[in-house]
Amino acid sequence: MISPLRLLYLALATWGAIHPMYYFLRYMRENDGGFGAMIDAWYVNASTTGLTWDLTIAAISLTVWIVAETTVRKNWLALIAIPATFGIGVSCGLPLYLFLRSRPVT
């Protein structure tokens, strides 16, 4: 049985994967599938550049935490949160890691 907290983490990870991806795909469709155009948009002004760096630093910090804890806890499955973080975003990677980290220890 999954605890309510773990269900919440899983729901947040799912939402964090789907909701931002909707906007990413929509933007790329509007710009001829251009991933390069999306990256350029991340630096279009000081506000988006600041947000880009904020999320990049958060993703790196999360990665350091995941690696450090995985090494100690030997919860190797939790490492899948790293590609989720950089491939989808912190909004997916963080709750996914919390979901995987909070599983009962056997």
What digits encode the pLDDT tens for the residues 23-82?
A: 988 988 888 877 788 888 899 999 999 999 999 999 999 999 999 999 999 999 999 999
pLDDT digits (tens, 9 = 90+) for 13-28: 999 999 999 998 898 8
- List the chain domain ranges: 4-101
Whole-angstrom Cα distance, residue 35 to residue 14?
22
- In whole angstroms, what separates CA 81 from the centre of its chain? 7
In this prediction, residue 106 carries a pLDDT of 66
